Copies of this chain bind each other. A is one copy, B any other.
Amino acid sequence: MVTSLKRFLVGTPKRTEEAIHERLTKKTALAVFSSDALSSTAYASEEILLVLAVAAAYGQSDVYYYVVPISILIAVVLGIVATSYRQTIHAYPSGGGAYIVAKENLGTYPGLIAAAALLVDYILTVSVSLSAGVAAITSAAQGTRFSGLDNHKVALCLILIFFIAVANLRGVRESGALFAGPTYAFLVCFLLMIAYGLIYYFLHPGTVAPINDAHLKLAEGYHVQALTWFLLLGAFSNGCVALTGTEAISNGIPAFKPPEARNAATTLTAMAILLAIMFIGTSALAYLYHVHPHDNETVISQFARIIFSGPFRWFYYMIQATTALILVLAANTSFADFPRLASLLARDRFLPRQFASRGDRLVFSNGIIILAAFSGILVAAFGGDTSRLIPLYAVGVFLSFTLSQTGMVRHWLREGQLLRTKRLAGRNRESGLKSGESFLAQIIAEGERLDDIHVSVTPEAIAGRNPIDVAELRKGASHWKRSIVINGVGAIATSIVLVVLILTKFIHGAWIVIVLIPILVAMFRSVYRHYQEVARQLTMEGIEKLRPIRHEVIVPISGIHRGVIRALEYAKSIAPDHVTAVYIDLDEETTKKLREKWNQWGAGVELVVLASPYRSLVRPLTRYIERIRRQHDNDMLTVVLPEFVTARWWHQLLHNQSSLLLKGALLFRKGVIVTSVPYHLEK
């Protein structure tokens, strides 16, 4: 029954050889990986306005203007980050997530910090995106007879999480095909809305949203106050959620069709440009139409209602529908990335190995299930309210950006040093002084001196197949210098934003993430240590060959019946002359009867009767076992338990409790093996 439910939801298993075909085209990849970043336009402008509303409520109603310059500033940061990540994609074509880049270039701990930040962010992406998606739906329902939907936000989010998880358990190709349509529909609708919204405004200047300050919503945790620089920084921090998801592509390069790196980089650029246009456009429209953040309607819904009125009202619903859909896709991005990162961590032994094994549909099922569970908990805990989740969100994103960019700077520094060495070798070779072999030795020595664990161009490849081309080396040299500048600017920009985020958002929830990340890192470390320790303990060193084992067998019995007979037969077969039956005396009369029967059926097996003044079955038996272990000092003691296998599951409740207790008590005893001999009941 459980199996067939699984088959219905997830589909039939796939063979291992099918794995290679599960690749995405650029177009599909944009849908799968960019939806996270693009969808943040659905809430980023609103999150800026929420903070500005704090000053507006104080009386400074002109502060909403700042949404435009803040959005432009954030778009600039986006440009820097995207350019920076293009470098990463080319340097790490096999998937250059922040975890790998930080780990290889900065060391294990920075890598683990990046990984922890990313895992937390993936969970938050699901929660934030679905909360915002549900808000788009409930906004559209305002004023209709479905306006009560507002009260079921959490339930709606949980239903969506379930469906997305199931879609992903079915496999990534199907997800891509399923989701490409909606992404492009969103893009087209949103761009049309911005264009038409601007035109409409200049045709009807002065059209503004009706003021409804009774429901004015302020950013969670702020008191009404006059505008300060700190408040502006807070608004900027909130807007930075627009950048979440920018790194998704660089984590997922192996899912692209070949040439993976080039396709990924192109997709990233396209995404960044689209995102910048849509984000600034949304902020501009919100400002032009004087839209204020609102308790039960999103900012976009408010101005879209104004723009698309009368005969165009259907297009308003298109906007809301595609917005909701893209946000669902954004959640889906995490369902592609979280399991992938978890599998990388598991392969490196920082997470339990179950995360590294593919399920029968070739996806990392355990990661998908864990992600669904945690994001569901988060949604429930924060009542499905996007703006309450935002302060937790951006810290992890920018932490991983910073680590990743810093790692790239280090990467290019090493690459540069290697190139210098090669150039030196090339010069020597030109002058005919050094042989290929000694060149190779020099490269390797140089690599060791640099403590280089990742040489992207292997010495063998250089020395063997590619004769050294000095012109190309020169080009390489100018390339790494340019790259250092790009990634350096990226690292500095993102670290400044990170500091701003921590300062402005710490008390509003960022502290949760800041506390959680070290805890996760500590967990990674102890999982790793455990696996190391196990490998050490299991080593075959010192073992010559199999040793013979002697063993005693005891059979605890509750009476004489066919089940017991079966157990005794089995016991005699595994240790013919070392079997003892044990009976716990709970009632004199019954014990006497048993002894009599034993003479008839016991077949020469010794019967030991143990007293139990406290009516416990387990305690006398475990004591007896201890005694036997001490007396015989054998290698092994096998406890053979007669056990019923019932025909119906609930019949099991009517039997075997003593066996269960006994197994529990003996589980952790050294040198004791518990074997159940089943007796199959027929009905």
Query: How distant is the Cα of A562 from the Cα of B560 in the complex, in angstroms?
Result: 39
Q: Identify which of B15, B573, B651, B668 contacts A614 (C-beta below 8 A).
A: B15
Q: Is A645 an interface residue (CB 8 A)?
A: yes
Q: Is A570 an interface residue (CB 8 A)?
A: yes
Query: How distant is the Cα of A592 from the Cα of B533 in the complex, in angstroms?
Result: 26
Contact B546 A615 (CB under 8 A): no
Q: Which of A247-255, A288-296, A547-555 contacts B (4 or more CB under 8 A)?
A: A547-555
Contact B573 A534 (CB under 8 A): no
| Residues 517-533 of A contacting B (Cβ, < 8 Å) | 527, 530-531, 533
Q: Identify which of B357, B561, B575, B645 contacts A668 (C-beta below 8 A).
A: B645
Q: Identify which of B537, B551, B603, B654 contacts A681 (C-beta below 8 A).
A: B537
| Residues 544-576 of A contacting B (Cβ, < 8 Å) | 545-551, 560-563, 565, 568-570, 572-575
Query: How distant is the Cα of A357 from the Cα of B551 in the complex, in angstroms?
Result: 34
Given A530-B654, A574-B574, A654-B352: A562 and B549 within 8 A (CB)?
A: no
Q: How far is the CB of A294 from chain B (nearest CB, A)?
A: 30
Q: Which of A235-243, A399-407, A476-484, A672-680 contacts B (4 or more CB under 8 A)?
A: A672-680
Query: How distant is the Cα of A267 from the Cα of B679 in the complex, in angstroms?
Result: 51
Given A537-B682, A538-B561: A16 and B354 within 8 A (CB)?
A: no
| Residues 576-629 of A contacting B (Cβ, < 8 Å) | 601, 603, 613-616
Q: Identify which of B527, B540, B563, B683 contacts A561 (C-beta below 8 A).
A: B540
Q: Identify which of B16, B636, B651 contacts A570 (C-beta below 8 A).
A: B636
Contact A573 B549 (CB under 8 A): yes
CB neighbours (8 Å) of A570 from chain B are: 549, 551, 636, 673
CB neighbours (8 Å) of A561 from chain B are: 538-540
The SS class assigned to the A binding surface is mixed
| Residues 639-662 of A contacting B (Cβ, < 8 Å) | 644-646, 651, 653-655, 657
Query: How distant is the Cα of A563 from the Cα of B538 in the complex, in angstroms?
Result: 7
Nearest B residue (CB) for A677: B673
Q: Is A69 an interface residue (CB 8 A)?
A: no
Q: How far is the CB of A1 from chain B (nearest CB, A)?
A: 14
Query: How distant is the Cα of A128 from the Cα of B541 in the complex, in angstroms?
Result: 68
Q: Identify which of B531, B547, B614 contacts A13 (C-beta below 8 A).
A: B614
CB neighbours (8 Å) of A563 from chain B are: 538
Q: Hey, what's the 0/1 contact readout for A408-443 against B, CB within 8 Å counting as 1?
A: 000000000000000000000000000000000000
Q: Is A358 an interface residue (CB 8 A)?
A: yes
Contact B560 A540 (CB under 8 A): yes
Query: How distant is the Cα of A679 from the Cα of B543 in the complex, in angstroms?
Result: 15
Q: What band does the interface of chain A fall in when counting residues whose beta carbon is under 8 Å from B?
A: 35 or more
Query: How distant is the Cα of A597 from the Cα of B50 in the complex, in angstroms?
Result: 65
Q: Identify which of B530, B549, B550, B668 contacts A651 (C-beta below 8 A).
A: B530
Nearest B residue (CB) for A648: B530
Q: Identify which of B353, B568, B614 contacts A14 (C-beta below 8 A).
A: B614
CB neighbours (8 Å) of A549 from chain B are: 569-570, 572-573
Contact B675 A533 (CB under 8 A): no
CB neighbours (8 Å) of A357 from chain B are: 615
Q: How far is the CB of A671 from chain B (nearest CB, A)?
A: 9
Q: Identify which of B16, B569, B644, B673 contacts A675 (C-beta below 8 A).
A: B673
Given A537-B562, A546-B569: A667 and B645 within 8 A (CB)?
A: yes
Q: Identify which of B534, B551, B572, B644 contacts A546 (C-beta below 8 A).
A: B572
Q: Identify which of B550, B572, B615, B654 contacts A573 (C-beta below 8 A).
A: B550
CB neighbours (8 Å) of A475 from chain B are: none
Contact A613 B670 (CB under 8 A): no
Query: How distant is the Cα of A543 from the Cα of B569 in the complex, in angstroms?
Result: 12
Q: Identify which of B354, B546, B638, B667 contacts A565 (C-beta below 8 A).
A: B546
CB neighbours (8 Å) of A353 from chain B are: 654
Q: Is A104 an interface residue (CB 8 A)?
A: no
Q: How far is the CB of A622 from chain B (nearest CB, A)?
A: 13
Q: Identify which of B14, B15, B614, B682 contacts A360 (C-beta below 8 A).
A: B614
Q: How far is the CB of A547 from chain B (nearest CB, A)?
A: 6
Query: How distant is the Cα of A538 from the Cα of B638 in the complex, in angstroms?
Result: 24
Query: How distant is the Cα of A601 from the Cα of B676 in the complex, in angstroms?
Result: 29
Nearest B residue (CB) for A366: B657
Q: How far is the CB of A73 from chain B (nearest CB, A)?
A: 45
Q: Identify which of B13, B573, B655 contacts A548 (C-beta below 8 A).
A: B573
Contact B527 A540 (CB under 8 A): no
CB neighbours (8 Å) of A603 from chain B are: 545-546
Q: How far is the CB of A596 from chain B (nearest CB, A)?
A: 13
Contact A539 B562 (CB under 8 A): yes
CB neighbours (8 Å) of A565 from chain B are: 540, 543, 546
Query: How distant is the Cα of A653 from the Cα of B668 in the complex, in angstroms?
Result: 15
What would 23 A/B residue contacts be, using CB atoms closer than 8 Å? A13-B616, A16-B613, A17-B613, A530-B651, A530-B654, A531-B654, A534-B644, A537-B562, A537-B681, A538-B562, A540-B562, A543-B565, A543-B601, A546-B572, A547-B569, A548-B572, A548-B573, A549-B570, A570-B636, A574-B575, A645-B668, A674-B676, A675-B675
- Chain A interface (Cβ within 8 Å of chain B)? 13-17, 352-354, 357-358, 360, 527, 530-531, 533-534, 537-540, 543, 545-551, 560-563, 565, 568-570, 572-575, 601, 603, 613-616, 636, 638, 644-646, 651, 653-655, 657, 667-668, 670, 673-683
Instruction: List the 6 closest pairs (A to B, CB-CB), nearest first.
Output: A538-B561, A574-B574, A549-B573, A13-B614, A546-B603, A675-B675
